[in-house]
Amino acid sequence: MSSFRGSTHLPVDMLRSESLCVTVITPTYNQAQYIAQCIESVLEQTHRNIEYLIYDACSTDGTDQVIAPYLRDTRIIYRREPDCGQANAINKGLDAAKGDIVCWLNSDDYFFDRDALAKVCAFFASREGVDVVTGDGYSAAADGTLIEPIAVSDASRISHRATSIADNFLQPATFWRRNELRLDESLHFVLDWKLFLSMHRTGRCFFYLPEFLAVYRLHDAGKTTQDSAARKREVCEILRFSGAGAMQRGWAWLIYRLYAMSEALRFPPIKMFARFVNIAMWYLSMGQIVSG
């Protein structure tokens, strides 16, 4: 009797799905309080064909001690070494990746459930012409408690045109076939946005998968949570790169200047006003003008 009983009866798409190797890249620095949940969400995936690359920029908070017990899993490759920022660490992972599918999962985020990668791989296996898959997720409090859904909702929101105006992708819920594109290491906040624009420019095919795939944690040290003028300045740079219209670029510059003034004067009401008018403009323009 064959020791491979039943294996020949698997659907072709399932065999293809299981054969796909997923490279998950986690850059980290001083996030010992979050990284265990991140790692466990990767290792507990029902899709087992995983290469897990962790780049620790020499954390000083005991991150290496938190990671140590997980290194028994041979799928993990842990590198503790200096880097030039988050984009540089992720690019190291992209250069080293051997997986068919790649993604990055920041150490304060985690996959939504144990089947996230199985769902993604099943889709890639069934649609060979698709290069990028993005899905939905949840925001979470610092302690990991889920707050509310983050949904793309409509595939048109990830089109090239829409992406040239705003970044509607949930980055930890986005996966792509391994390719030659890399992050712009001069960017600190909107590096993922520029990467997705570059994928559109080079003709990659995007698909919206209406599944909850990842959780995005909100906490005081998070770059998006800080909502800084530096981030708004990078938004202006990306809009020039994307070829956005003059009104869109002008509006983003105005919001940046208001943010910069607020921080220079240490007067938060100016930033609060800028946020309010930015949201109002988004509604009035039907999503065509906004500082993302």
Structure tokens given for 108: 């304060």
CA distance 76 to 28: 14
Q: Tokens 């003028």 label which residue?
A: 229
Q: For the residues of 195-206, what is the DSSP string, one character each?
A: HHHHHHHTTPPE
Confidence of residue 226 (pLDDT cuts 50, 70, 90): confident
Under 8 Å between Cβ of 93 and 24: no
Q: Give Cβ neighbours of residue 54 (< 8 Å, ≥ 6 apart).
A: 26, 28, 39, 67, 76, 77, 78, 79
Average pLDDT over every residue of 14-34: 93
CA distance 142 to 139: 10
Task: Kindly tell me the burial class for residue 57, based on how many C-beta atoms sit within 10 Å of its own C-beta (0-12, 13-18, 19 or more).
Answer: buried
Under 8 Å between Cβ of 131 and 176: yes
Angle, CA 181 vertex, CA 176 and CA 186 arms, to 5°: 120
Question: What is the rounded average pLDDT for all residues in the chain?
Answer: 93
Task: Examine the pLDDT at 142 and tell me if it is beyond 90.
Answer: yes
Angle, CA 102 vertex, CA 97 and CA 162 arms, to 5°: 140
Structure tokens given for 147: 């707050």
Closest CA to 212 of 129, 143, 291, 114: 114
CA distance 215 to 112: 6
CA distance 28 to 55: 6
pLDDT digits (tens, 9 = 90+) for 228-254: 999 999 999 999 999 999 999 999 999
Start-end of CATH 3.90.550.10 domains in the chain: 11-223
Under 8 Å between Cβ of 91 and 83: no
pLDDT digits (tens, 9 = 90+) for 209-221: 999 999 999 988 7
Third-level CATH fold of 11-223: Spore Coat Polysaccharide Biosynthesis Protein SpsA; Chain A (3.90.550)
Instruction: Please give the model's pTM, rounded to 2 decimal places.
Output: 0.92
Q: For the residues of 156-178, what is the DSSP string, one character each?
A: GGGSHHHHTT-----GGGEEEE-
Under 8 Å between Cβ of 214 and 111: yes
Say what the pLDDT of residue 99 is: 98
Q: Which helix (H) or strand (E) holds 150?
A: strand 146-150
Confidence of residue 7 (pLDDT cuts 50, 70, 90): very low
Task: Examine the pLDDT at 1 and tell me if it is beyond 90.
Answer: no
Average pLDDT over every residue of 141-148: 94
Q: For the residues of 76-93, what is the DSSP string, one character each?
A: EEEEE---SSHHHHHHHH
